[in-house]
Structure 1
Amino acid sequence: MNVHVPPEGGTPADIRDLLLDAAGLSLDKLPMLHVIFDRMATACAESLRQLAASQAYYSLSHVESGRIGDVLDSYEGMAIVGVFHSPEWDSHVIVGFDRDFVFSMIEVLFGADGSEPPVDDERSFSNIEMRIAAALFEQVAKALQGSFALVSQTTFRFQRLETRMDFAVIGRRNNLAICAKFLLQALNRGGEMFVLIPQGALTPMRQQLASTAAGDSSPRDPVWTRHIRGEVQRTEVRLRAVLEQREISLGEASQLAVGQILQLQATPRSRVKLESAEQALFWCSLGQAEGAYVLRVEEAVDLEQEFIDDILPR
């Protein structure tokens, strides 16, 4: 085996880079890739929510490594792919939608309710389906760009759309690539989307992709954060005001009868505990206003003290 030794003043790291490139990237050592693709799935779902009335969900299925040709051959005759160029990476990227994804997305975007059976046809894609796919590719490219901003500022420029996988050329077919696969769920059906990135494009970022520091985690998406906060704040919860609690034996409970009067130790001045889902929240005082009972919140319940009171005998 012949090894090229760099001239005096050369950088030994250059040899290491060549060796790493030849060996390929290990997904186990690139945890940030999953963070990036999870973020991408969220961004795709958010952008689709602005276009469709029906709920649609994206989820990252898995990330795998393989030869470019092998990945594309597995989708031959059953997918539309968009080819993008990244000037900053000096490389190309492929985004693909399988047939079920395209047909499901057409129904979602055109207001279907899912009552009709899914399309099960091996026909070629129509012009409308191709145009819808091209528009969706642009949305996915923006999501991909925003997600990779965690480690690299790059752009993805749409170049062409292909249905023949042997025409989707982004490098030698035996070159290694990272393939992320996503599931679409909508109208009780779904499909698959995939993103194919040559490993050569990711190799310069391997140190950033290998980082597991807490500061490298995905930052909050302000739009998604507002949406989640709004949904949470609109959620209805049931409150219960407890004036008094007591324990009785099973025998005493079996002797209870309609019309029986139970004596309470509580008085109108006793504090009332406000609970939700069996969780104590606040101590309140009882009062009346306009002919109805009212509660005035006085202080939060000390959960630690409540726990102590429950386990210690009285």
Structure 2
Amino acid sequence: MDDLAAEWGAALEEQGVENADAMAAQWAAMVDDGDSDLENSTRGADRVLNQEEIDNLLGFNIEDHISGDTSGIRALINSALVAYERLPMLDIVFDRLVRETTTSLRNFTSDNVEVSLDSISSVRFEDYLNSIPLPAILAVFKAEQWDNYGIVTVDSSLIYSIIDVLLGGGRGTTAIRVEGRPYTTIEMNLVRRMIEIILADAEKAFAPLTQIRFNLERLETNPRFAAISRPKNAAILVQFRVDMEDRGGKVEMLLPYATIEPIRDQLLQMFMGEKFGRDTIWEGHLATEIYHATVEVDAVMCEEELPLSMILDLEVGQTLLFNVAPTDPVSVKCGDIHLTSGNIGRLGERVSVKVNKPLRRPRMTLAAFERAVQKDLEKT
């Protein structure tokens, strides 16, 4: 670079420029800085980004995720979760479950039990399993009519409180926890009875919508053995609080969206008995108009198939013989539909048919309906 500055300085002196050496040195320094910047930028183009730079580009901060503030790509992924607010009937169902369970647990424990609904939220199945505080008991149950599964989770506080109450623990005393050991057979059986009561109350809560049977399949203490859905599938998480004076704990019910899919239409209702896409006033008006509609009815004495050649040879005065007697019943039809049968007679100056069988109400098939519509179009 010094040689380049000397050459530029000599050239500037030949042209009579003042301070030629200083100007040539300044130009050489500028060229040197430009080369170093170019080299650094070239090296940066081939450099691999680390995880922190990738997270910054995507807008994802692990500290914000841990604290519950999801953003960037994480918020985009979680936006696929179905909000339970789209199923307004769930609030009514679980409110009924709270009332039913409060009464049932009072009878079960002979104690003053208060059950309250803490929250209803949408979660991913994997996230829920990872968030369960251990030790806990997970009950896997099957919804028979829906042909799918759900989970009821009872935390350790409620487990020991129920055991203490059922085994004669005094009021005003805190249940003693024995950590670091598995639950005994007696404890598991007592908790099983409580869960069966909760599932029976859940059947009553869903009864106005649909008849359902919840059968308890098994009890687990390890969340990994209670996998009933894919890890990324969305589910409804319902959290209940059970208080028995100074004791109590939490019960959680998890229902994957695949489980409640068969009754999705009922859960979309805003209130019990709501009908979608129907107008009862219009239905009544339509029924009234149909009852007053005029319908042509034919009394058919006999039907026979004749060859076309015989029909073409018919002459005036020729007689066709049918194998029908005057006392044989005639068929009463509306179009191609057989309604009833009767006997032909006379009433005054008119020929009449006496109906001798109740009116048959057949279900018109699609083909018969199309034929009837076609005939009406041909007549018009």
| TM-score where L is the length of structure 1 | 0.58
Rounded Cα–Cα distance in structure 1 between residues aligned with 2:81 and 2:144: 22
Superposed CA RMSD in Å reads 1.9
* Alignment correspondent of 1:205: 263
Structure ranking higher on relative contact order (CA contacts 8 Å, 6+ apart): 1
Q: Out of 128, 143, 159, which is 1:71 matched to?
A: 128
Partners of 1:76 and 1:164 within 8 A in 2: no
Count how many residue pairs are aligned between Structure 1 and Structure 2: 195
The question of whether the paired residues in 2 share the 8 Å contact of 1:81 and 1:97 is answered with yes
Q: Which residue of 2 aligns with 1:17?
A: none
Tell me which residue corresponds to 2:254.
196
Q: Residues 132-281 of structure 1 correspond to what in structure 2 (within 5 A)?
A: 132-213=190-271, 215=273
Q: How far apart are the structure 2 equivalents of 1:97 and 1:179? A: 13
The superposition leaves residues 72-103 of structure 1 with CA deviations (integer Å, 9 ceiling, x where unpaired) of 22115221011111221111011110001111
For residues 175 and 214 of structure 1, the distance between their equivalents in structure 2, rounded to whole angstroms, comes to 28
One-letter identity of the residue aligned with 1:194: E
Give the deviation of 1:24 after TM superposition.
4.8
Q: Indicate if the aligned counterparts of 1:52 and 1:111 stay in contact, CA closer than 8 A.
A: no
Match of 1:99 in 2: 156
CA distance in 2, matches of 1:190, 1:76: 16
Secondary structure (helix, strand or coil) at the match of 2:138 reads strand
The alpha carbon displacement at 1:190 in A equals 1.3
Unaligned runs of at least 5 residues, structure 2: 1-78, 275-380
Structure 1 residues 213 and 47 mapped into 2: Cα distance closer, same or farther (>3 Å)?
Answer: closer
Secondary structure at the aligned position of 1:69 is classed as helix
Question: Which AA in structure 1 matches 2:90?
Answer: L
Check conservation: 1:36, 1:147, Cα contact below 8 A. Answer: yes
Out of 80, 103, 111, the position equivalent to 1:54 is 111
Describe the superposition over 1:245-269 as per-residue Cα deviations: whole angstroms up to 9, x where unpaired: xxxxxxxxxxxxxxxxxxxxxxxxx
* Cα pair distance change 1:134/1:170, threshold 3 Å: same
Mapped to 2, the partners of 1:51 and 1:60 lie a distance apart of: 20
**Which residue among 110, 116, 141 is the counterpart of 1:84?**
141
CA contact (8 A) 2:146 2:259 kept: yes
Letter in 1 for 2:217: Q
* Maintained 8 Å contact 1:53/1:111: no
| Structure 1: distance between partners of 2:256 and 2:176 | 33
SS in 1 for 2:163: helix
Q: Which residue of 2 aligns with 1:118?
A: 175
Whole-angstrom CA distance in 2 between matches of 1:41 and 1:151:
17
Whether contact under 8 Å (1:76, 1:165) holds in the other structure is no
Matches of 1:157 and 1:53, distance apart in 2: 25
Determine if contact 1:85/1:156 at 8 Å carries over to the other structure: yes
CA distance in 1, matches of 2:135, 2:157: 9
Q: Match of 2:82, as an amino acid?
A: L
Which stretches of structure 1, 4 residues or longer, exceed 3 Å deviation after superposition?
22-25, 213-216
**Structure 2: distance between partners of 1:86 and 1:23:** 25
Contact 1:52 1:109 in 2 (8 A): yes
Distance 1:24 1:117, change over 3 A: closer
**Distance between the aligned counterparts of 1:209 and 1:64, measured in 2?**
15
1:178-230: CA deviation from partner (whole Å, max 9, x where unpaired): 010000000312100010101112233222112113656xxxxxxxxxxxxxx
Amino acid at match of 1:171: S
Instruction: Find the residue that maps to 2:152 and give its secondary structure.
Output: strand
How far, CA to CA, are the matches of 2:234 and 2:272 in structure 1? 30
Report the CA distance between 1:118 and its aligned residue.
3.4
1:116, distance to aligned residue in structure 2 (A): 2.5
Calculate the TM-score normalised by the size of structure 2: 0.48
CA offset at residue 109 of structure 1? 2.0
**Aligned position for 2:97:** 40
Structure ID, larger Rg:
2
1:23 Cα offset (Å): 4.9
Distance across 1 between alignment mates of 2:272 and 2:140: 34
CA distance 1:24–1:200, shift in 2 (3 Å) = farther
Task: Give percent identity, aligned residues only.
Answer: 32
> What SS does the corresponding residue of 1:142 show, helix, strand or coil?
helix
Q: Which has the higher strand share?
A: 1
